[in-house]
């Protein structure tokens, strides 16, 4: 069937429109139409091409989504060899000066000659690609290969939206553009995040991500990987008057619709190259992609030609590197660290390695899930990354270098510092020590919190003093605060007679806080001031709170499963109970402030006891109820007001449920009695 002329015109129009929007979105970062409109144009073009396959052209944006899998990559002989550049090993300012000196010498410039003009740009850390445009249409994309012959990766390159399939403006007969394909950091993080969610393997770093995508046999896989591209040079050209300078070439490429990185300058002499080097180094960590240095190029193409090549490297360009942010080393041990808040972090002890400008011997493994996911083991060779001031981290393992005996890491069940149980809520990543008040790793933090204004309000007990008290081993737990005396304090800095007495007075004054403050002061994870108040109001006494199980705790308004579990874990830890007992011995305890029930709730009310209570005998419970004016009966009837049920409660409990009688456990009974 012949293709109607209008269909051909429409397809051409749509191709132009879609590519214009692509350029605006991916290159200029300034979208021109809403996504929905873009999708509509795209689908219309797809439909047209479906109906009239003759309309399908090499530069059609529909070809970006990835075609059929390939058998392999065909070899491509480069019309102009793709050479590499010399790397200046001196990462300091000397590198720029040495390059400038070589250039001046090669050009036989006398000392009196003016400074040479250079184009300075970034050295992108990705994969070099040659894009061949014929009459403005992208016809082939090839990797560098050995410099003479690369591989045809056109299908995969087409999936990169930043690369125009057709050039803007009056296009040369032949224009080969060289540049770097890379994956930006945010795209890399997003992609890995998604892979993890799908339970699929994550990429080790953006560089591997980019290289791996381009060498995907299945272009649909490549299409899923978010890649970027920056042009930085030329290959073969024909039918095009070359600009006079490298800067001019890059400007022309921008005119054709190609992406060129904005961080580039034209400067004069070595001093200005060094300035560029320093300026880019300072912003390296803020760039959304990885660079491993900067590149200096003699700006005038005529001079480039004059300088020529030496052993397959141009004399007119040099890469001036930065210290690497990633390096290989060996995991000597995996240990866990306890942070000030009790967070337990696995840490890899590494064979010392120079990375990110410092020698690194430890790297965080973040948490147990992360260790599992990356499968880091003792003896493994790993890639360590340190970017900026960020804590060094292990980015991945070189699986092929794993020793035969490499046991999996197991998170300890008890805190390595204090021996308390380690808790890890199922839906949380971080494991924590439950030793709170007792754990030396958390001691200072716990004491500061204990003494803080909204907790025990011990005036004058600030960070400096807590440091001195703990470091001098005068105080281990809050109990020790109440055992301090003037003689012991006298040895401390700035703790002369008056200050010491003031502190001791403040400590003494703090002995009878409200129950809410006392609960808050304990520093139970997830228990802030307002939860502490709710707990105090609900339970009425610390004893009642301490024996409450998670079900009971969840009856408190705003206490959900996470908070309930934190509270239960805290009191289950013997070390914490010891601290509370110790405090009671030095007469520190919370006093209930707001009663929950009035006497009328007990006086004249009928109670029935059933089952075994955790810590009260039946006689004891009976005596307590009667002392407050209540009655205790033997069987449940409509007249029963409360049934107090313990373990193995039998038919009385069933009856109570049947009649809708209020059922209390021991803690609730105590709360009622204490009101």
The least distance separating ligand IVH from the CB of residue 326, rounded to whole angstroms, comes to: 16
Interface positions, 15-44, toward ligand IVH (CB under 6 A)? none
Among 83, 97, 395, 664, binds ligand IVH (CB under 6 A): 83
Strands 662-664 and 642-645: parallel
CB 95 within 8 A of CB 123: no
Helical spans, DSSP H, in 286-437: 301-307, 368-374
Residue labelled with tokens 């373990």: 647
Which residues, listed in sequence order, are joined to residue 142 by a DSSP beta bridge?
130, 152
Number of helices followed by number of strands (H, E) in the chain = 25, 24
The least distance separating ligand IVH from the CB of residue 148, rounded to whole angstroms, comes to: 14
The least distance separating ligand IVH from the CB of residue 76, rounded to whole angstroms, comes to: 16
CA 158 – CA 140 distance, rounded (Å): 9
* Region near ligand IVH per CB under 6 A, out of 21-29, 36-44, 116-124, 640-648: 116-124
| DSSP state letter for 23 | I
Interface positions, 170-209, toward ligand IVH (CB under 6 A)? 180
The least distance separating ligand IVH from the CB of residue 315, rounded to whole angstroms, comes to: 10
Q: Please, which residue, 143 or 566, has the CB nearer to ligand IVH?
A: 143
CA 464 – CA 489 distance, rounded (Å): 14
Largest CA distance in the chain: 115
- The count of residues in the chain is 675
Interface positions, 303-362, toward ligand IVH (CB under 6 A)? 314, 317, 319
Task: Look up residue 126 and give its two tokens.
Answer: 């990705």
The least distance separating ligand IVH from the CB of residue 293, rounded to whole angstroms, comes to: 8
CA 409 – CA 376 distance, rounded (Å): 8
Residue labelled with tokens 């039918």: 239
Total residues contacting ligand IVH by CB under 6 A comes to 15
Sheet order of strands, 662-664 included? 631-633, 606-610, 642-645, 662-664
The least distance separating ligand IVH from the CB of residue 285, rounded to whole angstroms, comes to: 18
Q: Is 232 in the site for ligand IVH (CB under 6 A)?
A: yes
Q: Please, which residue, 191 or 296, has the CB nearer to ligand IVH?
A: 296
Among 85, 137, 254, 546, binds ligand IVH (CB under 6 A): 85
Among 66, 219, 226, 233, binds ligand IVH (CB under 6 A): 233
Q: Please, which residue, 83 or 287, has the CB nearer to ligand IVH?
A: 83
CA 250 – CA 231 distance, rounded (Å): 8
* Region near ligand IVH per CB under 6 A, out of 79-87, 339-347, 445-453, 577-585: 79-87
Interface positions, 120-149, toward ligand IVH (CB under 6 A)? 121-124, 128
CA 456 – CA 451 distance, rounded (Å): 5
Q: Please, which residue, 208 or 612, has the CB nearer to ligand IVH?
A: 208
Q: Please, which residue, 49 or 180, has the CB nearer to ligand IVH?
A: 180
Rounded to 5 degrees, φ, ψ at 512 are -120, 70
Q: Please, which residue, 305 or 501, has the CB nearer to ligand IVH?
A: 305
Among 11, 76, 157, 295, binds ligand IVH (CB under 6 A): 295
Rounded to 5 degrees, φ, ψ at 4 are -60, 145
Give the closest residue to 666 by CA, choosing from 596, 630, 585, 612: 612
Q: Which residues contact 565 (CB under 8 A, 6 or more apart)?
A: 423, 425, 550
Q: What share of the chain is helix, strand, coil (3-state, %, to 5)?
A: 40, 20, 40
Q: Please, which residue, 64 or 297, has the CB nearer to ligand IVH?
A: 297
Interface positions, 624-663, toward ligand IVH (CB under 6 A)? none
Q: Please, which residue, 182 or 256, has the CB nearer to ligand IVH?
A: 182
Interface map 533-562 toward ligand IVH (x if CB under 6 A)? ------------------------------
The least distance separating ligand IVH from the CB of residue 105, rounded to whole angstroms, comes to: 20
The least distance separating ligand IVH from the CB of residue 180, rounded to whole angstroms, comes to: 5
> CA 404, 405, 407 angle in degrees (round to 5)?
130
The least distance separating ligand IVH from the CB of residue 125, rounded to whole angstroms, comes to: 7
Helical spans, DSSP H, in 461-553: 463-471, 478-481, 486-490, 497-509, 515-521, 529-539, 542-547, 550-553
* Region near ligand IVH per CB under 6 A, out of 40-48, 118-126, 460-468, 598-606: 118-126
Q: Please, which residue, 121 or 480, has the CB nearer to ligand IVH?
A: 121
| DSSP state letter for 79 | S
Give the closest residue to 537 by CA, choosing from 584, 604, 590, 601: 590
Interface positions, 366-425, toward ligand IVH (CB under 6 A)? none
Task: Look up residue 280 and give its two tokens.
Answer: 């880019």
* Residues with catalytic function: 123
* Region near ligand IVH per CB under 6 A, out of 21-29, 77-85, 395-403, 490-498: 77-85
The least distance separating ligand IVH from the CB of residue 85, rounded to whole angstroms, comes to: 4
Q: Using N-to-C axis directions, what is the helix angle for 666-674 and 618-627, rounded to 10°? A: 30
The least distance separating ligand IVH from the CB of residue 280, rounded to whole angstroms, comes to: 12
CA 601 – CA 671 distance, rounded (Å): 12
Give the closest residue to 235 by CA, choosing from 99, 139, 107, 306: 139
Q: Please, which residue, 312 or 454, has the CB nearer to ligand IVH?
A: 312
Q: Please, which residue, 172 or 233, has the CB nearer to ligand IVH?
A: 233
Give the closest residue to 365 by CA, choosing from 344, 340, 381: 344
User: SS3 of 338, please?
Assistant: strand
Residues that bind ligand IVH (CB under 6 A): 83-85, 121-124, 128, 180, 232-233, 295, 314, 317, 319
């Amino acid at each position: 069937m012949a293709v109607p002329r209008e269909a051909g015109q429409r397809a051409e129009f749509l191709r132009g429109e879609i590519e214009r929007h692509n350029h605006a979105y991916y290159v200029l970062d300034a979208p021109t139409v809403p996504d929905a409109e873009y999708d509509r144009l795209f689908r219309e073009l797809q439909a047209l091409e479906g109906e009239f396959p003759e309309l399908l052209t090499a530069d059609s944006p529909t070809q970006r989504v990835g075609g059929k899998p390939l058998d392999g990559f065909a070899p491509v002989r480069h019309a102009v060899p793709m050479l590499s550049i010399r790397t200046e090993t001196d990462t300091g300012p000397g590198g720029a000066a040495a390059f400038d000196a070589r250039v001046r010498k090669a050009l036989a410039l006398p000392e009196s000659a003016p400074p040479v003009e250079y184009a300075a740009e970034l050295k992108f850390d990705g994969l070099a690609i040659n894009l061949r445009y014929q009459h403005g249409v992208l016809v082939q994309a090839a990797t560098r290969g050995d410099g003479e012959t690369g591989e045809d990766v056109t299908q995969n390159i087409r999936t990169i939206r930043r690369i125009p399939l057709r050039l803007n403006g009056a296009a040369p007969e032949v224009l080969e553009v060289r540049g770097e394909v890379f994956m930006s950091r945010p795209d890399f993080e997003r992609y890995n995040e998604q892979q993890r969610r799908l339970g699929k393997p994550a990429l080790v770093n953006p560089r591997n991500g980019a290289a791996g995508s381009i060498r995907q046999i299945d272009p649909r896989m490549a299409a899923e990987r978010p890649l970027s591209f920056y042009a930085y040079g030329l290959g073969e050209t024909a039918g095009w008057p070359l600009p006079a300078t490298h800067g001019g070439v890059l400007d022309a490429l921008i005119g054709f619709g190609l992406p060129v990185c904005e961080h580039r300058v034209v400067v004069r002499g070595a001093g200005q190259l060094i300035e560029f080097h320093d300026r880019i180094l300072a912003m390296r960590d803020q760039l959304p992609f990885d660079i491993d240095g900067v590149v200096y190029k003699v700006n005038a193409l005529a001079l480039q030609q004059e300088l020529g090549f030496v052993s397959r490297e141009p004399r007119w360009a040099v890469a001036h590197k930065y210290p690497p942010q990633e390096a290989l080393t060996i995991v000597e041990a995996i240990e866990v660290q306890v942070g000030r808040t009790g967070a337990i972090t696995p840490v890899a002890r590494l064979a010392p390695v120079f990375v990110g400008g410092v020698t690194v011997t430890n790297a965080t493994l973040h948490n147990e899930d992360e260790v599992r996911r990356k499968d880091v083991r003792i003896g493994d060779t790993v890639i360590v990354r340190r970017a900026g001031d960020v804590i060094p981290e292990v980015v991945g393992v070189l699986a092929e270098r794993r020793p035969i005996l490499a046991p999996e890491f197991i998170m300890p069940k008890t805190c390595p510092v204090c021996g308390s149980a380690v808790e890890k809520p199922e839906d949380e990543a971080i494991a924590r020590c439950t030793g709170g008040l007792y754990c030396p790793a958390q001691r200072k933090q716990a004491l500061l919190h204990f003494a803080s204004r909204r907790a025990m309000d011990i005036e004058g007990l600030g960070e400096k003093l807590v440091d001195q008290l703990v470091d001098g081993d005068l105080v281990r737990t809050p109990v020790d605060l109440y055992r301090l005396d003037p003689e012991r304090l006298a040895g401390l800095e700035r703790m002369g007679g008056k200050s010491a007495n003031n502190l001791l007075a403040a400590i003494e004054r703090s002995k009878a806080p409200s129950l809410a403050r006392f609960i808050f002061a304990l520093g139970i994870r997830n228990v802030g001031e307002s939860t502490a108040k709710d707990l105090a109001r609900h339970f009425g006494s610390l004893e009642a709170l301490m024996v409450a199980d998670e079900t009971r705790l969840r009856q408190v308004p705003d206490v959900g499963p996470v908070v309930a579990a934190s509270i239960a874990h805290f009191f289950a830890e013997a070390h914490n109970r010891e601290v509370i007992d110790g405090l009671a011995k030095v007469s520190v305890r919370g006093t209930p402030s707001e009663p929950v029930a009035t006497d009328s709730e007990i006086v004249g009310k009928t109670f029935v006891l059933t089952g075994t209570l955790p810590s009260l005998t039946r006689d004891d419970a009976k005596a307590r109820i009667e002392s407050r004016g209540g009655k205790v009966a033997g069987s449940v009837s409509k007249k029963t007001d409360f049934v107090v049920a313990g373990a193995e409660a039998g038919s009385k409990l069933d009856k109570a449920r049947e009649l809708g009688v209020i059922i209390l456990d021991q803690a609730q009974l105590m709360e009622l009695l204490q009101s």
